[in-house]
Chain A
Amino acid sequence: MQIEYVKGKIMEGRQSGFPRQYGPERSDHQPGIPLFPQEATRDLVVTFILVAMMFFLSAFVTPFLGPARGPQLSELIVPDWYLLFSWGLLKVADIFPQFTIGQGTPLKTEFSAAFWGDLLSGIPVIFLLILPFIDRGREARPAKAPVRSAFGLAFLIAWIFTSSLYSIREVVAQRWVSPNGAALIPDFTMKWFFIIPPVLVGLTSYIALRRLGYQPMRRWLVPYVAGLAAIVVAQSAWILFDPAGLGVEARPFTVEIAIALGIIAVPTVAVAAAVLLAPESTARKVSTWAGALGLIGFLAFYGGVAYLDQPRALGWVLSVLWPNMNTLVLIPMFAVLTAWLGTRRPYSTYEYLLNECYQCGKCHTVCPVTKVEDDALGGLNLVYNTFKKQHDGVPLWTCLACDACSAVCPLDIQYSDYILEERAKVHARMAADGGQRE
């Protein structure tokens, strides 16, 4: 087939100029096959074939499934791993108030634990369904939409991770016990997992993503990190100095417990002080070192205690730390991590970023130069040809550096940085060859 004929068919009925125009009266002309009816028909065919195969197999090749599971067969019943979150939500639902409305009417609704659990399991689905209608923003890049991304990550942590963990609370309570037989992670602590880690993850992601977009985040970092440090210090002080803080049985191991709490609290306080008082670059260094040393110290301490034939001491240290996991383990970790992410220098070099490119071609779609070039019908792709050093360097020098490509890039690649460096290289090469081209 002749290439001109193909090009003619592709451009048929299309206006010259931008195929994709932004702004209030934007008219999208997206190339490709429409969803309805072409794609839908094909998908339905595939779906029906699969359903037919399933019916066939279930009718003629019936496997023996065995008796259904029940409390008589196994003590702990859990569904498959991908449904654990729903199981955990059902288990946690008894924290909600239980009441009945509309007693004696046809609309009687019983707000029991089962009802609340169903509701919680349904919320993610409902939320995902209505999300496109709530969020009409055009920004598709997670790094450029910090609020949305932070909510999403917090949601994943809350609904998927912690609720899955909570669904096996019996196993956790049974396996991990302190020397006096109490659960190391009590039910109370696990219930707080639904609140504390998601909030920490959400705030940390928000700060990190905003910083990625070159925002000065001091106003967020100072109260956040300082507040977390205050919580850690207060909790440690309460454990050590309040008579009710340490149990009677743990009291002989006060020194070990104090060292463990110090390893946790000192880096957190150091990072908070650095964020509060020192300039950003210093705070960055302090948070790097505090994080690394804190982690190494933490591991070395536990290794040392276990190695020095002090398993009893280790058990008692853990019995202090693990029930307070939300405050004593998660908060210091997130405080240091947030300070580290919130004081970093946002990237500006192109190598790392350009290699992230997955050739979605959005940049080519919006590039203004290709629309006025002779071979705009597919010959010249400014970004791609520059990257491959094709077209004798023409794409490199025709670029306007208007950054329309960077504005739509899903990976936020600053293409103009690349242009800057490449042009500088060409001039450096010419200078090395002994003179400028005229």
Chain B
Amino acid sequence: MMETEYGPGRTIPHPVMFRVLDAEADDTTIPEIKVEHKSEYAYYPGCVDYYDVEMQFSHMNYGDTNHGIIFDSSIKLLRAVGIQPMILDRSFMKCCGHDQLWQGKVDIFERMRDYNTKIIKMLGVKTLVTSCAEGYRTFRLDYKLDGVRVVHITTFLYERGLRIPPQPETAKRIRVAFQDPCRSGRQMPIDPVYEEPRELVKRVDNADLVELKTFRADAQCCGVAQMMYCNDKTKGLTRKRMDEATEVDADYLLTACPKCLTHFGCLHHENRWQPGEERYTYKVMDITQFLAERLPGDYPTGSNVDTKRKEPPLPGRRG
């Protein structure tokens, strides 16, 4: 269609994941829906199951970035505040359509939206909890879910008063930085999620919250959005953001968006390629994983998790 001076790499990449997700939208027949706990509180895990597969497929992650654990941690945290959520499983739900919308594929997005809206209405959901910043924005602004309260999990845990028990005496002080995702912060004209994650981190008694150089509404983007335009240039942005965490001497870099986690994890992994040349010594993880690790008890098993498993899923490709 067009010959750019930059070459074809600058046009939209078409990873396998999007082919799969787009193809999913075509089938609008409603399968048999099995929910374990019928409840007015629903939890939508998002596409985290796809990320692990896609990232390993794209050779971006043999490290310890684990998307699947976001799901388990969220369920554990929700149980800790006394909620047994209805899990909107990917076996009958579709992707929320955020990436398709922002890639311009509005027709695919609309099919996904109509399908998901139908299911959510059918199940009688009153409160839809999502652990994903993009899902939060999309369900809140781009869907028309009248009568359903869409809430990010950090807001929900903060409202329900999540208590983190005192950490053992031997636990050393840790410095925790939080990356504000664009989608749940700047891009939300209503109820942006800035304070709640920070308040939750402050409840961990051996954690010191440190702010990156740019934070809240000024927070710099993690570098890649809607899974488009990932190259060495945008990796420079990711690196800049991760260097900010190095500058404040953080032990953990938390985020509330699986996409940020993907891209941070990718660079984290890349900089460990040669032993002894590690640029980033801190850990990168989702805020739900960070909080759930500090709660006692096992990880629960959700409907798309192996029921026999008693331990958290192993990181990376073995997970």
Contacts and interface: CB of A to CB of B under 8 A. Distances in A.
A437 B1 contact: yes
Interface in B211-245: 211-215, 217-218, 220-221, 223-226, 228-229, 233-234, 236-237, 240
A398 interface: yes
A420 interface: yes
B12 to A, nearest CB: 6
A369 B190 CA distance: 26
B103 interface: yes
B189 A369 contact: no
Contact of A400 (B4, B211, B229, B236): B229
A413 B301 CA distance: 45
A401 B190 contact: no
A373 interface: yes
Contacts of A140: none
Interface stretch (A95-103, A174-182, A261-269, A421-429): A421-429
A52 interface: no
27 contacts: A17-B240, A21-B213, A22-B218, A213-B189, A214-B189, A368-B220, A368-B223, A369-B233, A369-B237, A372-B234, A392-B2, A392-B3, A392-B4, A394-B10, A400-B223, A400-B234, A401-B182, A402-B225, A403-B182, A404-B221, A406-B186, A407-B217, A416-B187, A423-B102, A423-B103, A437-B1, A438-B14
A25 B104 CA distance: 38
A357 interface: no
B186 A402 contact: yes
Contact of A397 (B3, B10, B106, B234): B10
Contacts of A368: 220-221, 223, 237
Nearest to A426: B104
Contacts of A23: 211-215, 218
Given A23-B214, A373-B233, A426-B104, A404 B220 contact: yes
Contacts of A373: 233
B105 interface: yes
B91 interface: no
B234 A21 contact: no
Q: Which 9 A-B pairs have the closest CB atoms?
A: A423-B104, A402-B221, A22-B218, A427-B104, A372-B236, A400-B225, A214-B189, A402-B182, A424-B106
A373 B223 CA distance: 12
Interface in B177-200: 182, 186-187, 189-190
Interface of B: 1-6, 10-12, 14, 101-107, 182, 186-187, 189-190, 211-215, 217-218, 220-221, 223-226, 228-229, 233-234, 236-237, 240
A35 B14 CA distance: 51
Most chain B beta-carbon neighbours within 10 Å: one of A17, A397, A420: A397
Given A22-B214, A346-B189, A372-B234, 16 more contacts: A21-B214, A23-B212, A24-B211, A24-B213, A214-B190, A368-B223, A369-B233, A393-B2, A394-B4, A394-B10, A398-B10, A400-B221, A403-B182, A404-B218, A407-B218, A427-B105
A427 B105 CA distance: 6
Contacts of A24: 211, 213
A300 interface: no
Contacts of B6: 394
A215 B188 CA distance: 12
A83 interface: no
B224 A400 contact: yes
B106 A401 contact: no
A400 B190 CA distance: 21
A431 interface: yes
Contacts of A392: 2-5
Interface string A378-407: 000000000000001110011011111011
A293 interface: no
Nearest to B236: A372
Interface of A: 17-18, 21-25, 213-215, 346, 368-369, 371-374, 392-394, 397-398, 400-404, 406-407, 416, 419-420, 422-428, 430-431, 437-438
Nearest to A366: B218
Contacts of A22: 213-214, 218
Most chain A beta-carbon neighbours within 10 Å: one of B3, B14, B186: B186
A346 B215 CA distance: 26
A401 B225 contact: yes
Contacts of A374: 233
Contacts of B215: 23
Contact of B1 (A18, A400, A430): A430
A424 to B, nearest CB: 4
Contacts of A404: 182, 186, 218, 220-221
A401 B187 CA distance: 9
A346 B141 CA distance: 13
A332 to B, nearest CB: 31
A409 B130 CA distance: 29
Nearest to A398: B229
B186 A407 contact: yes
Nearest to B217: A407
Nearest to A438: B14
B213 A25 contact: yes
